[in-house]
């Protein structure tokens, strides 16, 4: 009699353990991955990007991909730092949005987007469409940035460290001007 009760309890314990293992560990991880992908700014077709233009209040930098390297073509021609350009593209493709706000007509200046502090254009012949990212001012707390993608009627909040990565000088983006 006691043997059957122990066997029944062991069976219940095994079923609960299996449920915990499959549901709590595997399914929760899959849900977290789906949520992380849905919180990204946009789907970046990184391998299709051939032109990167970064405009700020001081300069306009145009980088073009030539075979496997990035070359600064405007304001002058110079070989670019591939690692830095790739890290910019990586961050744009993986940066999570913190929050999303509805944009009402005439509110661009409230978010520092009229004109934007930084504007990034991504182009490529095989891309489905040109992407434009406008970076505005910091939020009142200073931890987040306002960002707008492709003139959509929404404003995204992202981490403010993105502005530091995008606000690069010509010296930082080119290999020929390194000073050690």
Find the helix or strand (DSSP H, E) in which 94 lies: helix 82-94
Phi and psi angles of residue 160, each rounded to the nearest 5 degrees, phi first? -70, -15
Torsions phi, psi of 173, nearest 5? Answer: -90, -10
C-alpha torsion 40→122→145→39, nearest 10: -10
Q: Which two tokens stand for residue 94?
A: 């993986």
pLDDT given at position 38: 54
Give the residues across from 158 on adjacent strands: 145
pLDDT at 37: 52
Nearest to 91 by CA among 142, 54, 130: 54
Residue 128: per-residue pLDDT: 75
The pLDDT, as a whole number, for residue 177 is 44
**pTM (predicted TM-score):** 0.70
Q: What is the DSSP letter of 40?
A: B
pLDDT value, residue 179: 42
Domain ranges of the chain: 1-38, 46-173
Nearest-CA neighbor of 147 among 172, 129, 165? 165
Per run of 10 residues, the mean pLDDT along the chain (length 180 residues) is 86 85 71 58 78 86 87 81 82 82 84 89 83 90 88 87 77 56
Determine the pLDDT at residue 31.
61
CATH topology of domain 46-173: Immunoglobulin-like (2.60.40)
């Amino acid at each position: 009699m006691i043997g059957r009760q122990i066997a029944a309890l062991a069976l219940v314990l095994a079923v609960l353990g299996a449920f915990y293992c499959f549901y709590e560990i595997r399914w929760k991880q899959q849900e977290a991955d789906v949520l992380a992908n849905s919180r990204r700014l946009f789907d970046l077709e990184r391998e299709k990007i051939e032109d990167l233009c970064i405009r700020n209040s001081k300069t306009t930098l145009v980088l073009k991909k030539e075979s496997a390297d990035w070359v600064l073509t405007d304001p002058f021609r110079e070989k670019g730092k591939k690692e830095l350009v790739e890290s910019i593209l990586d961050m744009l493709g993986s940066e999570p949005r913190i929050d999303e706000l509805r944009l009402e007509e005439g509110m661009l200046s409230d978010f520092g987007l009229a004109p934007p502090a930084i504007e990034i254009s991504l182009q490529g012949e095989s891309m489905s469409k040109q992407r434009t990212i406008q970076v505005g001012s910091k939020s009142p707390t200073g931890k987040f940035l306002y960002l707008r993608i492709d003139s959509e009627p929404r404003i995204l909040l992202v981490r403010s460290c993105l502005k530091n990565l995008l606000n690069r000088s010509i010296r930082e983006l080119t290999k020929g001007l390194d000073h050690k």
